[in-house]
Amino acid sequence: MIVESSLTETRSIVRAARQHGRSVGCIPTMGALHQGHVSLIEIARQQCDFVVVTIFVNPTQFGPNEDFTQYPRTLAADLEMCHAAGADLIFTPPVTTMYAGSAQTIVRVTKLAQVLEGAHRPGHFDGVSTVVAKLLNVTEPGRAYFGQKDFQQQLIVRQMCVDLDLPVEIITCPIIREADGLAMSSRNRYLSVVERKQASQLFQTLKLAENLAENSALPPPEIARQMLDYLKSVDGIDVQYAVIADALTLELLTDRSNSAVALLAVKVGSTRLIDNQILRFR
């Protein structure tokens, strides 16, 4: 496994692999890896000949009152996990490599990025789409792998690739969960013991929505209301949103649909968590 911080060297290594007929897969991450990330690497390993993992805590996707300085940085452990999962190349650029002082360009996806996470975290998706575009430009993969947990993010990246004619297939991989259903996240380590127990109710909320979609005739707004009521009944949880939306456009659904996703965002103590569940209406 190669570990490289140079943009030029990374591009050269990947191009050499491609010239030898090897298919390239890329997993963009911010480090603090967990089994969810490992699952992405393993899927890429099955589908591609050469697997690149990028580790970069991207400052432009954090708001002024968010956790950029506190975000966990565990490079040594991350490299061990990447090696064990079968990664070939790790790209770990410094901020000065990714963002020159003279940079003036932002990649902005419009409609998809204005709702839900975009409404609660202004500018977040500008940072995401810009850095992902840059990472894909450097690593030139045929496929890039993202987790379903960041549901809106994978839609936005997919739209960006279509709009910019980037020859990258976006692969969305299943959410990996703890035994009690909590979606694995680098931010879970912020939770206290009490908060960790409270956070498990996010999954129960999504299971409630799934059950109502499959076993009742309730319309999406009523199911969303029950999600919200359930979350509000849990001590320590501050709900930011709990909705049912179209799984392609993120427009809120008023009628039962074959393209539906339940999405929620909460704060448990000072930790912000998101989760989602694809719904199958009967």
The set of catalytic residues is 37
> Which tokens in the block code for residue 61?
């996707």
Inform me whether the pLDDT recorded for 101 exceeds 90.
no
Tokens of 5: 């911080």
Report pTM: 0.97
Q: Each residue of 120-163: pLDDT tens digit?
A: 999 999 999 999 999 999 999 999 999 999 999 999 999 999 99
The pLDDT tens digits of the residues spanning 53-64 come to 999 999 999 998
Q: Examine the pLDDT at 39 and tell me if it is beyond 90.
A: yes
Domains annotated on the chain, with CATH: 2-173 (3.40.50.620), 186-279 (3.30.1300.10)
What residue type is assigned to position 3 of the chain?
V
* 262 closest CA partner among 251, 280, 278: 278
Instruction: Please report the pLDDT score of residue 282 as a whole number.
Output: 82
Tell which wins on pLDDT, 180 or 100: 180
Cα(263)–Cα(176) distance, rounded to whole angstroms?
A: 16
Nearest in space to 220 (alpha carbons), one of 276, 261, 249: 261
